[in-house]
Amino acid sequence: MLNRFQFYYHGVTLNRFFALLTTVFIVIFSHFENAMAQAKGQDFSFDRDFNEGKLALKSDVVKAAQCLKRIEKNSDKLSALEKAKANYYLRLKLIYSNSDSLKALDYKMFAAPDTLPYTDSVIFSARRFLQKSMPDKAIPMLMQAIDSLPKGSDKADFCIINLCEAYRQKQEYRKGIEMLNELLFGKKAISDENRAFAFNRIAALYHEGGNKMIHNTDSVINYSMKCISLSEEINSIPNLGAAQNELGFQYFLQKRYDESLTLLNKAIENFTNAGLRFSAMNVFINVSNIYMGLGRPAEAANALDSATRLCNIEENRNLFMRIYWQYAWINETAGNYKDAYDFMNITLQLQNDFFKDRIDMQINEQSARYDLLVKEQKISEEKQKNEYIHKQFIFLVAIMIVLVIAFVITFFYLKLRRKEFLNQKLLEAVIETETNERQRIASDLHDGLGPVISAINHYFQAYIDAPVIEKDTIQARLQQVISGAIDDVSRISHNISPYVLEKYGLITALNHFISPLTNSNKINILFTANVNQRFELKKELTIYRCITELINNTLKHAGADRIAIEISCPDHVLMVFYSDNGKGFDPNAQQQGGMGLFNIRNRVETLGGKLSLNSSPEQGIHVNIELPV
């Protein structure tokens, strides 16, 4: 038992010993690791790695890259100035000393995805150049895209707005404002997305330039508010962020700092959600300005720190140039003149690099300017040509209107004159007819009824004086003379107003008129009537007078032995066909006989009818009368 107990005791003691030993080892290792880490941290020196890196740039870029790597690994321990120095003097110099790295950077920054169509890829690259404030590169691309796109399409409008943004960056403000005004307020409608984009860009143009005689601030605020309202309505996050940034900056200028900060923080959130890093950095710079205006330089510096974490310096040197200038201002305000000087020195060198790049692009810029000038001249010439054509068109339309008015006036004038002429002729015809009727009635009374009445008077006197044996003979003769007088009175009355026509109608009256002529064997008259109904008395009387006059003219002048008359009434039109086989005449010669063909025509046309006549010497006459009933 003792041995077993001793063994157990020693086993427990041994286990405790090993546990204690393990604990001590862990503590020692932990202290050793911390010591090594502290040794490494104490081993890092920004000044040493920075200076070694700068020296190695000329001879050993690998060593310079290693120095930069060590500096970036300890970036959380660096001040803003140390980060700026490492960025400009080491990072940028290393990238620009290696052509492969530079090409890779350019491809990353400006090359469009392979999946985009050609025109879309051109637009994509142009916008990337605008994001990096390189309008001279963007303008030729945008002009090329505009030429290749259908005029008035959404993409063409989008390119025009981006072209105006390029003009803003080139400080050609008036040109951009005029183009956007034409796009926004022209006759052609544009999409809501492009309208919001245009509102934002015209606000930026008015902010930086425009006509100093007008209230640019009011214009900026007005267009920014329109952009915000429309962007919220269509959920256009990029345009909403841009308008909030523009309006927030205007509030900053008016020292409305709280309202400005609210808008700018919203803009940062919208740009971040949309993946627009450069735009968000620009807003952070504006936020820094506000904090400086409020006298809070530490928060202004923090805003700049947030901006520098969004991208590397080589991705947008111009933005970093503005950030470093802002750092210089903050340090100057705080009295850190040495740091302010160093920041300003980096800013000026970035600016010199920028202008150096601009000089390298002068040839391309001049070419772009020339192409642009040629295109603008063509546009101007085309516009002038269109205006000239438009004026010509208006002039021709005005002439046509004047000619039409003159034609209408002349037409109605001549029509009125012709109507007056026809009325005058009709009046003359009526007077002539009345005169002829009076003469005929007088002739009938004088030559026909007058001798008969004288004979009646003679026979009556003879009857009185005659012996009884002769009275019967004289009486019979007297009765015959009286019957002849009655017939003459009936004939004269019928010529004045046909009683048969009024009572029995046109067809019966014509038969009553034609029958004695046919029975005389002087002429053969073929009369065909395919109507049974009565018509308006005035129209029946007109047709009756016309036909009797035509018969009288034939009997007096034509020397014909056959007359054909046909009357029908298809489709409520009374049609009369009259012809004879007489000697005919020239219709252009003076018409003769009774009322005359001219008077017949006027009577028909007065009632809305038509008369057509066809005749020639030795070919008789053919007359067609159409009268609506």
Q: Of 583 and 462, which is predicted with more confidence?
A: 583
pLDDT at 287: 95
- Please state the length of the chain: 629
Q: What is the pLDDT of residues 227-257, one digit of tens each?
A: 999 999 999 999 999 999 999 999 998 999 9
Q: Is the pLDDT of residue 589 over 80?
A: no
- The pLDDT score that the predictor gives to residue 334 is 92
**Could you tell me the two tokens for 566?**
């046909």
d(CA 120, CA 111): 12
What value does the mean pLDDT take over residues 156-171? 93
Distance (Å, whole) CA 358 – CA 133: 11
Higher pLDDT among residues 42 and 582, named by residue: 582
Q: What is the mean pLDDT of the chain?
A: 82
d(Cα 211, Cα 190) in Å, to the nearest integer? Answer: 26
Report which listed range, 129-138, 435-444, 573-582, 585-594, is most confident: 573-582
Residue type, 85: K
Partners of 580 in beta bridges: 563, 621
Supply the pLDDT for residue 13: 46
- For the ranges 497-506, 579-588, 615-624, the lowest mean pLDDT is seen at 497-506
Structure-model confidence comparison of residues 469 and 511, the more confident one: 511
Burial (CB count within 10 angstroms: exposed 0-12, middle 13-18, buried 19+), residue 395? exposed
Q: What is the pLDDT of residues 99-156, one digit of tens each?
A: 777 677 777 777 778 788 989 999 999 998 888 888 988 999 999 999 999 988 999 9
C-alpha 347/C-alpha 96 separation (Å) is 18
Q: pLDDT of 307-358, one tens digit each?
A: 999 999 988 888 999 999 999 999 999 999 999 999 999 999 999 987 887 7
Amino acid at 291: Y
Q: Which residue has the higher pLDDT, 452 or 560?
A: 560
Q: Select the CATH number that applies to the domain covering 498-628 from these four: 3.40.718.10, 1.10.10.10, 3.30.565.10, 3.40.50.970.
A: 3.30.565.10
Which residues, at least 6 apart from 119, have a Cβ–Cβ distance to it below 8 Å?
Answer: 145, 148, 149, 155
Question: What are the structure tokens assigned to 582, written together?
Answer: 């007489």
> How many helices (H) and strands (E) are present in the chain, helices listed first?
25, 5
Radius of gyration of the chain, Cα coordinates, nearest whole angstrom: 59
Mean pLDDT of 190-206: 93
Identity at 577, one-letter amino acid code: F
Residue with tokens 């090359």: 111
Decide: 441 and 496 in contact? Cβ < 8 Å.
yes
* Spatial separation of the C-alpha atoms in residues 609 and 629, rounded to whole Å: 10
- For residue 484, give every residue at least 6 positions away whose Cβ sits within 8 Å of its Cβ, in sequence order, or none: 452
Q: Is a pLDDT exceeding 70 seen at residue 17?
A: no
Among positive and negative, which fits the CA dihedral 460, 462, 468, 471?
negative
Spatial separation of the C-alpha atoms in residues 268 and 37, rounded to whole Å: 38
Q: What is the pLDDT of residues 393-403, one digit of tens each?
A: 898 899 999 99
Which strands make up the sheet holding 524-529, listed edge to edge?
Answer: 524-529, 562-568, 573-580, 621-628, 610-615
Pairing of strands 610-615, 524-529: unpaired
Model confidence at 26: pLDDT above 50: no
Distances (CA, A) of 154 to 33, 73, 142, 204, 608: 64, 47, 14, 21, 64
Tens-place pLDDT, residues 489-542: 665 655 655 667 777 888 888 888 888 777 767 788 899 988 888 888 888 888
Tell me the CA distances in angstroms from 600 to 253, 363, 517, 523, 548, one per residue in order.
98, 95, 22, 23, 11
Task: Burial-class residue 528 by CB neighbours within 10 Å (0-12, 13-18, 19+).
Answer: exposed
Amino acid 558: pLDDT:
83
Token pair belonging to 256: 């409305």
pLDDT in tens, 50-75: 999 999 988 898 999 999 999 999 98
Neighbours of 534 (CB within 10 A): 12
Pairing mode of beta strands 562-568, 524-529? parallel
The C-alpha atoms of residue 310 and residue 268 are separated, in whole angstroms, by 12
Inform me whether the pLDDT recorded for 417 exceeds 70: yes
Q: Which of 101-115, 411-425, 538-552 has the highest mean pLDDT?
A: 538-552
For residue 331, which of 314, 348, 345, 343 has the smallest C-alpha distance? Answer: 343
Residue 108: other Cβ atoms inside 10 A: 11
First to last CA, the chain: 156
Q: Are 193 and 236 in contact (CB under 8 A)?
A: yes
Enumerate the H helices of 186-276 as residue ranges: 192-208, 216-234, 237-253, 257-274
